[in-house]
């Protein structure tokens, strides 16, 4: 894969050289994780034109995260204009990731307002080995989230559903999975329900219905890809709903998937070393619902 420099943009300043320092030592996003982000897939076609996937949904979720944190986000058009300028500099056919980052701003200079950045990275062609492997399936380890499935009800200070910059726990869980010889994680509530992954939503087909974890109460992030899949499934006549799924039920599921906008639905091949059912036709159908086929 050709190495392509990331493209960096700052709302208010436009596209900058990737080596330009854009965060100061007192930025509260850096020093406290006090901020939020969102990320989405970019497709660069064989015509060399880059386009985003689901930008509106990701900007809406970023605005919801910013609201929950009490951070004033730049207006949608400011993000969109910057992103458009950044996409114009990427021409190598393949996939990329856009990361939108918003922090509370500078501790020593609060009047400077929030920091709003965008980073565009190129990931190569979709048939690159690593991407293809992820789409074939993932071995998953179940890890406790340390909380019951209703921990976030009436507790907005816990920031349920907010995509904060504080991802250290998510990253630690993925490290733990690798140490156990697995590829990824399924978080489990202390009362035994499947929640989501550190960077993915969760889907299972049980009794012919497509199920996903409810966001309310569980505090999990609303995955834009899960929402897109559920809407397409319903339009296609497939029963699809939010419902808590006991992890003990997964052994009789027709299939289970970790889902995100960067890699689409990745079928779970094993959970803690036990094989789960795989249905390639169903995975293909769900990938199509997600816009990945």
Where do contacts with ligand PLP occur on this chain (CB under 6 A)? 39, 196, 199-201, 221, 223-225, 259-261
Least CB distance to ligand PLP at residue 195 (A): 9
Do 29 and 101 contact (CB within 8 A), yes or no?
yes
Least CB distance to ligand PLP at residue 143 (A): 13
First-to-last C-alpha distance (Å) of the chain: 22
CA distance 268 to 136: 9
Least CB distance to ligand PLP at residue 165 (A): 11
Nearer to ligand PLP, 53 or 106 (CB): 53
Do 100 and 71 contact (CB within 8 A), yes or no?
no
Nearer to ligand PLP, 6 or 113 (CB): 6
Nearer to ligand PLP, 52 or 224 (CB): 224
CA atoms within 13 A of residue 290's CA, in its CB half-sphere: 27
Q: 24, 77, 84: which is closest to 50 by C-alpha? A: 84
Least CB distance to ligand PLP at residue 285 (A): 17
Nearer to ligand PLP, 4 or 162 (CB): 162
CA distance 261 to 272: 25
């Amino acid at each position: 894969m050709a190495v392509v420099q990331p493209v960096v943009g700052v709302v208010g300043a436009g596209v900058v050289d990737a080596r330009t320092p854009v965060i100061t030592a007192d930025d509260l996003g850096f020093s406290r994780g006090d901020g939020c982000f969102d990320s989405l897939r970019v497709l660069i076609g064989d015509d060399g034109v880059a386009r985003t996937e689901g930008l509106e949904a990701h900007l809406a979720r970023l605005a919801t995260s910013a609201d929950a944190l009490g951070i004033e986000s730049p207006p949608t058009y400011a993000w969109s204009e910057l992103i458009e300028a950044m996409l114009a500099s990427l021409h190598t056919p393949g996939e990329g990731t856009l990361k939108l980052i918003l922090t509370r701003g500078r501790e020593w200079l609060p009047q400077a307002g929030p920091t709003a950045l965008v980073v565009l990275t190129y990931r190569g062609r979709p048939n690159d080995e690593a991407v293809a492997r992820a789409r074939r399936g993932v071995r998953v380890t179940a890890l406790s989230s340390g909380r019951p499935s209703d921990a976030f009800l009436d507790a907005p200070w816990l920031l349920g559903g907010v995509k904060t910059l504080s991802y250290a726990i998510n990253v630690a869980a993925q490290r733990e999975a690798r140490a156990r010889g697995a590829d990824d994680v399924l978080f489990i509530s202390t009362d035994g329900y499947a929640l989501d992954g550190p960077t993915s939503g969760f889907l299972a087909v049980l009794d012919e219905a497509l199920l996903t974890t409810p966001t309310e109460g569980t505090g999990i992030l609303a995955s834009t890809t899960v929402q897109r899949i559920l809407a397409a499934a319903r339009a296609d006549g497939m029963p699809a709903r939010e419902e808590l799924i006991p992890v003990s039920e997964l052994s009789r599921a027709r299939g289970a998937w970790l889902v995100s906008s960067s890699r689409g639905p990745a079928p779970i091949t094993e959970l803690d070393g036990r094989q789960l059912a795989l249905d390639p036709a169903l995975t293909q159908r769900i990938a199509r619902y997600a816009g990945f086929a």
